Structure 1
Amino acid sequence: MTTPDAPSPGAAPDATAERRLHPMSWLFVLVQQLKQFVLPLVALLVFGRGDRNELWPLIGVAVLVVLSLWQYFTYRYGVAGDRLVVRSGLFERSLRVIPFARIHNVALQQSALHRVFGVAEVRLESAGGSKPEAQMRVLKLEDALALEALVRHRGATAMESSSEPESTTLLALPFGEIVRLGLVSNRGLVVVAAAFAAIVQISQRAVMDTFRSVGKWLFGFAGEHHFGLTQYVVSALALVLFAILVLRGFSILLALLQYHGFRLSEIGRRLTVERGLLARWRTSASRRRIQAWTLTEGTLHRLLKRRSLDVDTAVAEEHQQQRALRELAPIATPAHCDALIEHLLPRAGWTQLDWRELPASNWWRLVLPTIPVVIAITIAASWRFGAWGLLALAWLPSAAFAAHRRARRMAYAANAEIVAVREGWWTRHWRFAELDKLQALQLTRSPLDRRCGTATLHLDTSGAGALSPPLRMRFLPHEDALALYASLSRTLARRPLRW
């Protein structure tokens, strides 16, 4: 996809004239529909032999072509003042009026086929609803960029803007940083595991036969060369190392495909991210739509002296979060992440926060959920392998040590602008939000909390995804929890919610 400084977005769409989609939009609608119906069509083609059943796949494709053309000829959009007007349908007509101020996220996506035709798919999303406010498949790239600029000008101010604000690059990832991102991510393992699960669902016998053949060959090779115990151990370690290298290499390849040309830019009060090698993806959202922040640091992050910075935006549905502005810094140095936070939250005083550590004496409560699992595994392993199964109990000291380290890192901080928590040991995270973005407070006490004189304070914001760590303060002394709850409640009652 072309960057904003290459083809100019051009003038905004004409406010008086309705516009069609791109003349080739029916082709992209057809491709999208074929993705949904490809399995039934292939099943009809493969198993529907005899008589006239072989014609059904062709009839199905023909119907999809007609529907795609129908959508092109009956879809119109135009601009009326400070809102977008979308008309669709012929017999059952639909008129949708979308105020620009309601649009929270603008996503432009280009696959390789999109780039060939110079078009883009546009999604306009809000914080409510189960689907985008408008989904235009597809527009000319110039029209898509012009529509994005129109939302940027009128969505925030609801007024015409005569000049385009200057774009400032906040973060760009060179090739070396993308390689580091591939190293710290598990994308390769996730894709391989998903592919393996799909293959097992299709043909479990073929997978088992393959494993038997490979195992027979490996043990046969080892038997021919008279491997001893040492050689077996070294060979197993070599295979594990080879598998790790292959998966990390695959992760680097996926990172290059997804994050090539990554650029985080700021235009006025709006943030824009674009990335991708073959398929280009571009999304933008107003800074005020950011609800919560997550700073992450895994073990490999620390070895490479890097962190990741993600945000939750005001998009309600989880599947929309995948398209929403989420990764501000997929990977960056700690100093660069702190600088980004300081720039985007200038009044928060992020680097000057006064962190209050929680009592480390509660470490044993972190290991409690692990004990029943380890006991169950030990019983199952002892029943299967005898006394050797007791080795599973060795996990308990390791879990206790990790819990102790986690408890020592748990802390929280709060000032007049933000509230933040930090947790984790192997994988560490900092989770924080502006006070103006908090929607609800909840103070809970379990029987164990009452026994230990502690409480948990939950802080809710909009747009939190399933993978985002919770914004909560565990093991707070009860008096401190009540005082913090009262203080935050007064602040929430006095200040309006901004989202």
Structure 2
Amino acid sequence: MYNEKKLHPITLVTTAYSRLVSFIWPIIFFAFSSSRLDGFGLILTVLSITIFGLVYLADVLRFVRTTYWIEGNRFVVKSGLFVQNEKDVQITRIQSIDYSEDIVHRFFNATKLEIKTPGKGIVLDALSKENALQLANQLHFLKETFLVSERKSTTEPQIDRHSGFSLQKAGVTRTVYTMSLVDILKMNVMGGSVIKGFIVFVGAINIFGELIPDALFDQARTFVSQTAIVSILLLSIGVFLLLFFIGSVLSIIKNFEYKVDVTNNYLTIEKGLLEVKSQTIAVANIQSVWEKQNWVQKLAGYTTFSVGITSDENVADKKDTSEATEKGEIILLPLVKTKQLAVLRAEIVPQFICQPAQPVVPLRSWRRFIQVPLLIWISLSLLVSYILWPFAWIIGAVMSLLTILYGYRSYKRTGYTLSEAEITFQLPKFISTETVYLRRDRILNLTVKQTPFLKKSHLGKVEVSSALGDSAQVKQLSFIEEADCERIFNWFLTTERSKEYGTGNKDSSPSIEAMAHSRVHE
């Protein structure tokens, strides 16, 4: 057993910074709104400061009572405010050791360390860089030693003294993807930074709206009513550029010096300006991969490439430094040229074939993509026009037209492709197209659905579920031929590698009624 160690005292500063960021906006809002709230705002301000003090006091006590150590094949952290609890991970199951450094960490030459395993993770905030590097190297060393011991190898163990927090090694790690400032700006143009800026703008107005005098709003309305159309147009362009600038700045801060490194069977993402982050992904644990390409990206010859993983823990944990969303998606290549993607995929996820999908929806199915939403829009717009607003039918007509266009696009682009161990789904969205690649051994269940109306038309739906995040993702091919449903179902059940897909004996295939009620093994 190694001696128990405590977190670096700088933890008190980093914790105070995190708490202050959480409390600063309510305190400012109540402080400036006290006059409008008849003095009650002052009470709320004092209350917010008091709560901040009590919460931070609890953080101080928790810091004093937190220790960590290594015991055999276990890395243990003991912590607790009143009752101390032990949390441990098996060293041999560690997938990655990642780091994150915000402004305070970098100022004091400290880092936040996150130790991840398939089931759970441990976060240490904060350690000095020297201690963090020493701990990371020690854990990597012990992991390789234990694994060699378990295999009872007679050869001399090749222990790697890593030079970083992740699995990167000199001479082995290679950088496969980087983003320059120009690339980040391109990504913002194609990916909607204006919308992000608009969200920030609206949020700021909601927070500080009480601080803006009513007379200023009156002057703005007067200005708009008395200004020429050309001036309003120029003003709109100025607002558009401002929002683009805000979105670009936020994106540059987040994605500064973005790069993806490959080390043996691991991927490492590093990025950040104010807060530098590193995240390591085990290639063997990638559940699915997919591309998303909107209309602007398609015209410019670019796309976005993502991977799906299972969460280590509840990703809503504020201490989690992972870039995975709540659904388990990691955007690995935010913007990459379509012509270069095939080469990058072969380096990053060599276990995936990634064959292009072929459209398969028959002509008689295209109306099924639009009939239900079209009926909803027409009924809703007529009802609102009759009861509330006479011109609501105009909005209904526009949305109905968009529904028809989207339905036709879904009919033209929905498709799939089968290979020996992988299936490709192509699923059109409203402004983009999503292409999903799933390996058969990573599919949790596959279901064929068929209503009486679809059965009469010899059509069906195929629903595939695979692990993603802390639950699962579901992808569905809609209104395809009944024969395609049987083909996909037989492919999923097939274990013989030599079988020719879609050419089997039809009499030996399960019926569509049997498939419609199937929930295949996990």
> Which category of TM-score, normalised to the shorter sequence, fits these structures?
0.7 to 0.9
Counterpart of 1:474 in structure 2 is 478
Conservation of the 8 A alpha-carbon contact between 1:104 and 1:289: no
| Structure 2 Cα separation of the partners of residues 303 and 181 of structure 1 | 13
| Structure 1 Cα separation of the partners of residues 249 and 25 of structure 2 | 28
Which of residues 253, 269, 279 is equivalent to 2:249?
A: 253
Give yes or no for the alignment of 1:452 onto 2:457: yes
| Structure 2 Cα separation of the partners of residues 419 and 353 of structure 1 | 10
| Structure 1 Cα separation of the partners of residues 452 and 237 of structure 2 | 46
| Structure 2 Cα separation of the partners of residues 410 and 299 of structure 1 | 16
Question: Unaligned 5+ residue runs, structure 1?
Answer: 1-14, 223-231, 493-498
| Structure 2 Cα separation of the partners of residues 445 and 78 of structure 1 | 57
Letter in 2 for 1:363: W
Conservation of the 8 A alpha-carbon contact between 1:181 and 1:252: no
Structure-2 change in CA distance of 1:353 and 1:255 (3 Å): same
Counterpart of 2:443 in structure 1 is 438
- Name the SS for the 1:349 alignment partner: coil
Letter in 2 for 1:280: V
C-alpha RMSD of matched pairs (Å): 3.7
Conservation of the 8 A alpha-carbon contact between 1:360 and 1:404: no
| Count of aligned pairs | 463
Letter in 2 for 1:184: M
Structure-2 change in CA distance of 1:205 and 1:31 (3 Å): closer
Higher relative contact order (CA 8 A, sep 6+): 1
Counterpart of 1:227 in structure 2 is none
Give yes or no for the alignment of 1:319 onto 2:324: no
| Structure 1 Cα separation of the partners of residues 209 and 88 of structure 2 | 49
Which of residues 331, 336, 343 is equivalent to 1:332?
A: 336
Structure-2 change in CA distance of 1:103 and 1:474 (3 Å): farther
| Structure 1 Cα separation of the partners of residues 470 and 339 of structure 2 | 26
Counterpart of 2:187 in structure 1 is 181
- How far 1:337 moved relative to its partner? 2.2
Give yes or no for the alignment of 1:406 onto 2:405: no
Q: TM-score scaled by structure 1? A: 0.80
Conservation of the 8 A alpha-carbon contact between 2:442 and 2:466: yes
Letter in 1 for 2:458: G
| Structure 1 Cα separation of the partners of residues 232 and 470 of structure 2 | 39
Structure-2 change in CA distance of 1:303 and 1:465 (3 Å): farther
Counterpart of 1:26 in structure 2 is 12
Structure-2 change in CA distance of 1:286 and 1:83 (3 Å): farther
Residues 192-215 of structure 1: CA deviation (Å, up to 9, x unaligned) = 325525644775796986554323
Give yes or no for the alignment of 1:134 onto 2:131: no
- How far 1:55 moved relative to its partner? 7.3
Which of residues 280, 286, 289 is equivalent to 1:290?
A: 286
| Structure 2 Cα separation of the partners of residues 387 and 60 of structure 1 | 50
- Name the SS for the 2:227 alignment partner: helix
- Name the SS for the 1:170 alignment partner: strand
Conservation of the 8 A alpha-carbon contact between 1:182 and 1:253: no
| Structure 2 Cα separation of the partners of residues 158 and 209 of structure 1 | 71
Residues 14-48 of structure 1: CA deviation (Å, up to 9, x unaligned) = x7233221221112223333444556766887657
Structure-2 change in CA distance of 1:368 and 1:188 (3 Å): same
- How far 1:456 moved relative to its partner? 1.9
- Name the SS for the 2:485 alignment partner: helix
Question: Unaligned 5+ residue runs, structure 2?
Answer: 149-156, 163-168, 325-329, 497-521
Conservation of the 8 A alpha-carbon contact between 2:384 and 2:392: no
- Name the SS for the 1:422 alignment partner: strand
Give yes or no for the alignment of 1:363 onto 2:360: no
Q: TM-score scaled by structure 2? A: 0.76
Letter in 1 for 2:65: T
| Identity score, percent | 14
| Structure 2 Cα separation of the partners of residues 472 and 150 of structure 1 | 46
- How far 1:94 moved relative to its partner? 1.8
Letter in 1 for 2:360: E
Conservation of the 8 A alpha-carbon contact between 1:199 and 1:207: no
Q: What are the within-5 Å matches in structure 2 for residues 10-409 of structure 1?
A: 16-38=2-24, 60-89=51-80, 92-104=83-95, 106-128=97-119, 133-148=121-136, 158-159=147-148, 162-163=159-160, 164=162, 165=169, 166-193=172-199, 195-197=201-203, 199-200=205-206, 203=209, 211-222=217-228, 232=229, 234=230, 237-315=233-311, 317=314, 319=316, 323-325=322-324, 326-350=330-354, 352-353=355-356, 355=358, 357-371=360-374, 372-381=376-385, 386=390, 389-390=393-394, 392-409=396-413
- Name the SS for the 1:461 alignment partner: strand
Structure-2 change in CA distance of 1:185 and 1:385 (3 Å): same
Letter in 2 for 1:286: A
- How far 1:483 moved relative to its partner? 3.2
Which range moves more in the overlay, 390-399 or 367-376?
390-399
Counterpart of 2:511 in structure 1 is none
Conservation of the 8 A alpha-carbon contact between 2:178 and 2:260: yes
Structure-2 change in CA distance of 1:91 and 1:75 (3 Å): same
